[in-house]
A and B are shown apart, each in its own frame.
Chain A
C-alpha cells in the first residue's frame, strides 16, 4: 500500500463523508427541533433519487439542474408527512418514543412497497449526466466529480443552514420552538406550522443529497435502507440535537469507512463505522457534540 493509495482513498472518503453529512443533516435538524427520529429518512432519500431519475429520463433534465426541483418536491413531501402522520404521533400520551419509531418505520415500509409497485424493483441509473463517471485530478489525486460536487453542495448547505437558523425570522422561530414550544404559542407562532416547515426543510436537504447520489448510485426501492443506518450513526456520532455534529459525524464516518476499506476485505467495510460509533458513545454517551 503506497502513500498515494492512502491519500487517494482518504480524499474520496472525505468527499463521501461530506455527502453523508448532507444526507444526515435533515435527520439532525428534525430531531433537534422536536426530538423525533424519522425512521423513514432512508426512504426520503430513495424518493429523491427516483424523482431525479424520472426528471432525467422523461425531460432529459440533468441532475444538476433538477436538484432545486427535487429539493422543492421533497420540501412539500416532508411537510405533508409531518401534517399527516408525525403531528399525530407526537400527540401520543402513552409510549411516545415507540409510536414515533414505528409510525415512521411503517411509513418507510409503505414507501418501499409503493416504489416497488409503481417503479418495479428494477435497478435504475442516470447515465451520461454531466457529472457522472468523470474524475478531476488535483495534484495527482483523482477525485470523482459527483462526489466532489456533492461535497461542495454539502459545505454550502451547512453554511446556508447556519445563516438560515441564526439570521432569519423563520430560523429564529425554529430555534425558539425547539427551546419552548409552549411559550412560542403564547407569542402567536403556530407550532404546527413551524414543525411542518422544519420537516420540509429537513426533507429538502435530503432532496439535495438524493439528486447528487442519483448520478453515481443505482436507484431501487430498497436503496434507502443502506444509507439510513449510516445516517443514524452519523447523527448519533455527532450528538443528537447538534446540526454541526451531523457535519462532523459525516466526515468521520466517511474517513473511517475509507480507512477500513484499506485494511479489511470489502465485505467488512462497515465494521469500522460501527466500531467507531460504539467506541465514541461508550466514552461519551452523548455523542461528540450532543448537548443534552
Chain B
C-alpha cells in the first residue's frame, strides 16, 4: 500500500511540473498556428481524460460521448445568443444537463454489456445529432454563429490572442487530470475497477454496480460538456456535425486508447502524441485532399494498437501498468 501512495504523490508532483512547464510554453511559442495546436492538444487531453473515467476506469466503453460534447457546446451557445446568458453560466448549465442526461440514459443502458452497450451509445448520439439537425430554433443544419460581444474574460471571447483559450484549456486538462487522480484512490475508483474486471463478482462483494456506473457516467459527461462549451467559445461557430458528429466520439477515445486506457497518464500522453500529429499530417500532407493523411493516421492506429495493446504509457514508466 505504501508504494501505491508514494506513486500517487510522485504523480501529483510530476503533474505540477508538467502544468508549470506548459504554462510557460507560450513565452517561447509565438506562432499562432502552433498555439492553436497546443490549445487543441490540451482540450483533447481533457476530453480523453474525462472519457477515460467511464470507459477506462469503469470499463463501460462509450463511443457516443460526442452527445455530451455537443450538448455542452449548444447549451452555452444557445443561452448566450438567445438569452444573453454569459458563457460561464452556460458552461455550468451544459455540464449539469449533460450529467443528468448521462444518468437518464444510463438507467436503461447500463443493463447492456459488451457490444450491445457500445452500439447503444453510438445510436443514442446519432439520434441526438439527427434531432439537432432538424431543430429549427437551434439553427438546424446551419448551426449557430456566436456573435462577438467583447474581448475579455467576462464574455469568454478573445479576438486578438489565443492565449486566454490556451490557459483555460490547460486549466481544464489539469482539472480533469486532478479529478481522475483524486477518484483513483477514492471508494469510487476501487468500485469502478472492480466493476470493470468482473461486475458479477463486484456485485456479490457488495459493490453497488449500477450506482458506480451512474456516478462514472455523470462525472464523465459533466467534464466532456465543459470541453464542448469551451470549444464553442474557441471556434465561435458550431453546427451539429462539427460538435456532435461520430468523429468526436472517436477523437475523444483515441488518445486514451493509444496512451493507455484506464490509466492516469494515458490520455495526456496519447493527446500529446496524437493531436499534433493529426494536425500536422492534415496541414502538410492532407492539403492535397488525396487522403494521405488518413493513410498515415489510420496506419498509426493499427500499428500502436497491435504493438502496444496496453498503451504507450508503459514505455515511460518503470512500474507496471495496472493490470487490465
Contact = CB atoms under 8 A, between A and B. Distances in A.
B21 interface: no
Given A105-B250, A106-B299, A265 B134 contact: yes
Nearest to B310: A94
Interface of B: 61, 108, 111-116, 118-120, 122-124, 126-127, 130, 133-134, 250, 254, 257-258, 261, 289-303, 305-306, 309-311, 321, 324
Interface string A110-130: 111111110011000000000
The 5 closest A-B pairs by CB, nearest first: A113-B294, A109-B298, A116-B291, A106-B301, A92-B309
Given A95-B324, A285-B111, A232 B119 contact: yes
A8 interface: no
B294 A106 contact: no
B306 A281 contact: no
Contact of A281 (B112, B130, B134, B300): B112
A106 B127 contact: no
Contacts of B250: 105
Contact of A233 (B112, B123, B127, B300): B123
Nearest to B299: A110
A278 B130 contact: no
B116 A240 contact: yes
A229 B294 contact: no
B133 to A, nearest CB: 6
A267 B257 contact: no
A274 B298 contact: no
Nearest to A277: B123
A265 B126 CA distance: 16
Contacts of B300: 106
Most chain A beta-carbon contacts within 10 A, residue among B116, B292, B301, B321: B116
B305 A117 contact: no
Contact of A282 (B111, B126, B261): B111
A233 B119 contact: yes
Given A89-B306, A109-B298, A110-B302, A287 B116 contact: yes
B306 A236 contact: no
A285 B299 contact: no
28 contacts: A37-B115, A93-B309, A94-B310, A94-B324, A95-B261, A98-B309, A102-B254, A103-B306, A105-B301, A106-B300, A106-B301, A107-B298, A108-B298, A110-B298, A112-B298, A113-B293, A113-B295, A113-B296, A113-B298, A117-B292, A121-B291, A229-B123, A232-B119, A236-B115, A236-B119, A278-B120, A281-B112, A281-B116
Contacts of B108: 278, 282
Nearest to A280: B116
A145 interface: no
Contacts of B293: 113
A237 to B, nearest CB: 9
Contacts of A117: 290-292, 295
A246 B223 CA distance: 37
A89 B305 contact: yes
A233 B298 CA distance: 24
A249 to B, nearest CB: 12
A191 interface: no
Contacts of B292: 113, 117
B43 to A, nearest CB: 21
A107 to B, nearest CB: 6
A94 B59 CA distance: 13
Contacts of B122: 229, 232
Given A95-B324, A267-B133, A271-B130, A116 B294 contact: yes
